[in-house]
Amino acid sequence: MLLDFHLRNRLQSGTRVFTLDVQLKSQAQRVVIAGPSGSGKSQTLKAIAGLVRPQSGHVRIDGQTLYDAASGVFLPPQARRLAYVFQDYALFAHLTVRQNIAFALARGWLNPAPPCAPPGGGVLDRGL
């Protein structure tokens, strides 16, 4: 897999300014991004997943352009087919364990139906 990205984003909160400028091109099976808290690891991952739109740069995976500021390409996260685990999991509190697991399998406008819980209640059909 060829991962190729260059991201530049400037975030401002009041008088504090954070500038993200990160570039990587790798064919490795795994890439680990390490750094102190606040150095922009999460911002980088969010930009790759399409959860934030950087001001400039590009993201390409195996030649497919997910984001390119120069040509104005920005695929929404839904179209990127990437998996992303949030730092604090972001499990859906209104759904059972089973519904959380099946969440992405259910296309359309409704959540997967909660099955009739067995007597005693299986662990899968409990709320979170």
Partner 1 sequence: MDALADVWIVLRLSLKVALWATAITLVLGVALGWLLARKRFVGRELLDTLCTLPMVLPPTVLGYYLLVLVGSRGPIGAWLYQHFGINLIFTWQGAVLAAAIVTFPLVFKPARAAFEAVEGQYEQAARVLGVSEWALFLRVTLPLAWRGIMAGLLLAFARALGEFGATLMIAGNIPGQTQTLSIAVYEAVQAGQDDMANVLAAITSIVCIAVLLSATRLMPGRVAHHQN
28/128 with CB nearer partner 1: 128
23/79 with CB nearer partner 1: 79
Contacts of 128 (CB under 8 A, 6+ apart): 91, 92, 93, 95, 96, 97, 100
**Residue 53 vs residues 1, 16, 61, 112: alpha-carbon distances, Å:** 23, 20, 17, 30
Query: CB of residue 105 vs partner 1: minimum separation in angstroms?
Result: 9
Query: CB of residue 80 vs partner 1: minimum separation in angstroms?
Result: 8
27/95 with CB nearer partner 1: 95
Query: CB of residue 4 vs partner 1: minimum separation in angstroms?
Result: 20
29/78 with CB nearer partner 1: 78
Binding site for partner 1 (CB under 8 A): 49-51, 76-78, 80-84, 86, 88, 90, 92-94, 103-104, 108-111, 127-128
| 70 token code pair | 């120069």
